[in-house]
Chain A
Amino acid sequence: MTSKHVRATRHTKFIKNRFASRFLRSHLRMKRSDRFGGSQSNEGVRKRSTHRIKIAAYASMALAVGPSRTWSRALLFKLRNRARLQGVLRKRCLVSKKNKKKRVVRNKVIISREPSRTDTLRKLVPGGDSMDICCLLEETAHYIKCLATQVKVMQTIADQLLL
C-alpha cells in the first residue's frame, strides 16, 4: 500500500514537471509571437490569446501524460483534428448554403432524451463516449488528478509572473 502510494506520488510529480516545462515553453513561444505580431489590446485579440493559452495548457497536459491513457489520446486527437476539420467545415459553409437546410432537417429527426449523469460525465471526460462505465470511472479519476495538477501549476506560474 505504501509503495503504491509512493509510486503514485512520484508519477504525479513526474507529470507535473513535464507539464510545467512544456507549458512554459509554449507560453514563451506565444509571448514571442505576440510581441512580433504587434499587440493591440482589443477584446477579440484578448479572447483569442486566452483561448490559445488554454489550448496550449490542455495540449501540454495531454502530452505530459502521454498516450498511455485514453483521455489524453482522445484529447490529442481532438486537438489535432479539430483545426483541420474547422477549415474543411468553413469551406463547406462558404461553398454551399443549400445543403444546410437539409442538414438541419436531419438533425431534428434525432430524438433527444434527457442526458443522465453518466452522459454528462462522458461529455466532460475527453474520449468518454466510447468507454464502458468501469473504464470511464478509472479515466475520470486520472483526469481529475491531472486537472488538479494542471490548475496548481498554472496558479503557481501566474503568481510568479505577477510578482
Chain B
Amino acid sequence: MDPPLINETSFSAANPSSYTLNEIWPFPPPPPSSTRLGLRMDNLADPDGSLEESTLTDQSSGNGTRIRKTRDFSSEKDDSSKMVSTTTSANDLNDSNGKRRKISGSRSENNDSRAETEASSAANNKKAEQSSKPSELPKQDYIHVRARRGQATDSHSLAERARREKISERMNILQDLVPGCNKVIGKALVLDEIINYIQSLQCQVEFLSMKLEAVNSRMNTSPMTEHLHPKDLGAQPFVATGMISGPQPTREYVQGSQSEWLHMQVGGSFERAT
C-alpha cells in the first residue's frame, strides 16, 4: 500500500497545475494558486471568497484589460450580493471605482464616506484591492436603509432615520398592547395613554394585594364571621377604582414605600428564621 501512495503524492507535488485545476473547479473556496487559469475559474465560481487572491496576482502581473474586467466583475458582485446601495450612492461608488482604477497606485479616501452603506462597501472594495487582509465584513453589520428621492444621504441623517423608524415601530407595538390606544393620534397622547395604563395596572396590583390581605385576615382571625366581610370587600373596589384615575397614588407608593421598607425587612428576617 505504501509505495503507490508515495508515488501519487510525489507526482502531484511534481506538476501541480493539472491536479490543482481539476480539484479547484468543484470546490467553492479554492486553495491559493499562482496560475492564471485557476484564477479565472475562481472568479467565476466564487468571486467573494477569492477576491483578494485574484487582485493580488493581477497586480503582480500587471495586465491592464484583465484587471479591469475582474474588478468590474467583483464590484458588481459585491453590490448585488449585499443589496446596500441607494440609487445615488451606487453611481458615486462606480465613479469612484473608475477613478481609482485609473490612478490605481495611490488612492485618496476623501471623496467617499457620504453614506454609511456606501462607506462600508467602499471600504470593503478598498480592502479587496489592497489585498492586505482577507477580511470580508459580516453581513450583520449593515443596517438596511434605503433613501428615497429627495432624502438626505449623509450618515447622520440615515442613522437618525433608522432610529426614528425603530421608535415608531415600538410605539406601534405598544399601541397594540394598550387597550383603547389605537384611536389616539400623536406620540405624546399615546405616551400619556401608556403612562396612565401602567399606573392603573400598578394600582390594580396594590388593590389586589389589599384584597388578598383582607382575605387572609378573614381566614386567620375569624372563620365564623365570613358573611360580614364580602360587604367590606365590595366597598373597597370602588375606592380603588377611584384612585386609578389620578396619577397621585403611584407617586404616593413610590414615596411611601421607603418608610414601609422596614417592615419588609422585618418580614424577610422572620421568613428566614422560619
Q: Is B137 an interface residue (CB 8 A)?
A: no
B220 to chain A: which residues have CB within 8 Å? 31, 34-35, 39
Q: Is A6 an interface residue (CB 8 A)?
A: no
Least CB distance, B134 to chain A, in whole angstroms: 35
Q: Is B258 an interface residue (CB 8 A)?
A: yes
Q: Is B154 an interface residue (CB 8 A)?
A: no
Interface 9-residue window, one of B42-50, B79-87, B165-173: B165-173
A48 to chain B: which residues have CB within 8 Å? 260, 263, 267
Is B198 a contact of A141 with CB atoms below 8 Å?
no
B250 to chain A: which residues have CB within 8 Å? 124
Least CB distance, B198 to chain A, in whole angstroms: 5
Please measure, in the bound complex, the distance between the C-alpha atom of A48 and the C-alpha atom of B215, giving whole angstroms. 15
Least CB distance, A97 to chain B, in whole angstroms: 18
Is A33 a contact of B215 with CB atoms below 8 Å?
no
Please measure, in the bound complex, the distance between the C-alpha atom of A87 and the C-alpha atom of B269, giving whole angstroms. 13
Is A137 a contact of B174 with CB atoms below 8 Å?
yes
Q: Report which residue of A50, A120, A121 has the largest number of chain B beta carbons within 10 angstroms of its beta carbon.
A: A50
Contact with B along A125-158 (1 / 0, CB 8 A): 1000000011001101101110110110011011
Is A121 a contact of B194 with CB atoms below 8 Å?
yes
Is A32 a contact of B166 with CB atoms below 8 Å?
no
Is A117 a contact of B195 with CB atoms below 8 Å?
yes
Q: Is A7 an interface residue (CB 8 A)?
A: no
Chain B, interface SS category? helix
Q: Is B233 an interface residue (CB 8 A)?
A: yes
Contact with B along A55-71 (1 / 0, CB 8 A): 10110000000000000
Please measure, in the bound complex, the distance between the C-alpha atom of A37 and the C-alpha atom of B216, giving whole angstroms. 14
Is A148 a contact of B201 with CB atoms below 8 Å?
yes
Interface on B for A, CB 8 Å cutoff?
163, 166-167, 170-171, 173-174, 177-178, 188, 191-192, 194-195, 197-199, 201-202, 204-206, 208-217, 219-221, 230, 233, 250, 254, 257-258, 260-265, 267-268, 270-271, 274
Least CB distance, B272 to chain A, in whole angstroms: 11
Interface on A for B, CB 8 Å cutoff?
27, 29-37, 39, 41, 46-55, 57-58, 82-83, 86-87, 90, 117-118, 120-121, 123-125, 133-134, 137-138, 140-141, 143-145, 147-148, 150-151, 154-155, 157-158, 161-162
Is A134 a contact of B163 with CB atoms below 8 Å?
yes
Given the known interface contacts A37-B270, A117-B192, A158-B211, the answer about A83 and B264 at a Cβ–Cβ threshold of 8 Å is yes
Given the known interface contacts A41-B221, A50-B213, the answer about A143 and B205 at a Cβ–Cβ threshold of 8 Å is no
B233 to chain A: which residues have CB within 8 Å? 162
Least CB distance, A101 to chain B, in whole angstroms: 20
Residue in B closest to A121 when the chains form the complex, CB atoms: B195
Q: Report which residue of B201, B212, B274 has the largest number of chain A beta carbons within 10 angstroms of its beta carbon.
A: B212
Give the residue of A36, A124, A141, A145 whose beta carbon is less than 8 angstroms from that of B170.
Answer: A141
A58 to chain B: which residues have CB within 8 Å? 205
Is A141 a contact of B216 with CB atoms below 8 Å?
no
A27 to chain B: which residues have CB within 8 Å? 212
A47 to chain B: which residues have CB within 8 Å? 260
Is B213 a contact of A155 with CB atoms below 8 Å?
no
Is B217 a contact of A39 with CB atoms below 8 Å?
yes
The 4 A-B residue pairs whose C-beta atoms are closest, nearest first, are A137-B170, A53-B209, A54-B209, A154-B208
Least CB distance, A68 to chain B, in whole angstroms: 18
Is B274 a contact of A145 with CB atoms below 8 Å?
no
B258 to chain A: which residues have CB within 8 Å? 82, 86
Give the residue of A51, A121, A162 whose beta carbon is less than 8 angstroms from that of B260.
Answer: A51
Least CB distance, B260 to chain A, in whole angstroms: 5
Q: List 27 A-B contacts (CB under 8 A).
A: A29-B271, A29-B274, A32-B274, A33-B270, A49-B217, A50-B210, A51-B257, A51-B264, A52-B264, A53-B216, A54-B206, A83-B261, A83-B265, A86-B265, A87-B262, A117-B192, A117-B195, A121-B198, A124-B198, A125-B198, A137-B173, A141-B177, A144-B201, A147-B201, A147-B202, A150-B201, A158-B208
